[in-house]
């Protein structure tokens, strides 16, 4: 039996932001916010570039992630092998 790998919406968002080199804002549990570019991420953490310095964030400390780049309705995120349009 073939094992199907699916990408959850969190990974799809982070991967699109990383691939397109969007500047993103991370709101943290302690009220601080960090703005930077995603270099890499895994199940537990996100590595971001903040003004040339690498910063490792643990996902359990993040409350919200938003893109600073203004997007339009033509932006597509690959999710579960399908393309989903932002509306």
Q: Is residue 37 part of a domain?
A: yes
Q: List the one residue out of 58, 59, 56, 48 whose CA is nearest residue 25.
A: 48
- The pLDDT value recorded for residue 80 is 46
Q: Are 46 and 59 in contact (CB under 8 A)?
A: yes
The DSSP secondary-structure symbol of 69 reads S
Whole domain around residue 33: which residue ranges?
9-69
Write out the two tokens for 11. 């990974």
Q: Is residue 55 part of a domain?
A: yes
> Which helix (H) or strand (E) is 76 found in, with range?
strand 76-79
**Structural domains of the chain, count:** 1
Q: Are 85 and 73 in contact (CB under 8 A)?
A: yes
Q: Is residue 30 part of a domain?
A: yes
Q: Is-above-0.75 flag for pTM?
A: no
Q: Is residue 33 part of a domain?
A: yes
- The pLDDT value recorded for residue 2 is 63
Q: What is the CATH number of the domain that holds 61?
A: 2.30.30.100
pLDDT per residue over 43-61, tens digit each? 999 999 999 999 999 999 9
The mean pLDDT value for 33-46 works out to 96
Give CA separation, 85 vs 10, 50, 52, 64, in Å: 16, 29, 32, 21
Q: Is residue 3 part of a domain?
A: no
pLDDT per residue over 69-81, tens digit each? 655 544 444 444 4
- The pLDDT value recorded for residue 68 is 79
Q: Is residue 76 part of a domain?
A: no
């Amino acid at each position: 039996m073939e094992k199907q790998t699916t990408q959850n919406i969190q990974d799809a968002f982070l991967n699109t932001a990383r691939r397109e080199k969007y500047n993103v804002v991370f709101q943290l549990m302690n009220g601080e916010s960090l703005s930077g570019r995603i270099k890499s991420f895994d199940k537990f953490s996100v590595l971001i570039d903040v003004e040339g310095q690498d910063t490792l964030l643990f996902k359990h400390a993040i409350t919200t992630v938003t893109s600073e780049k203004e997007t339009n309705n033509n932006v597509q995120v690959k999710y579960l092998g399908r393309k989903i349009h932002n509306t």
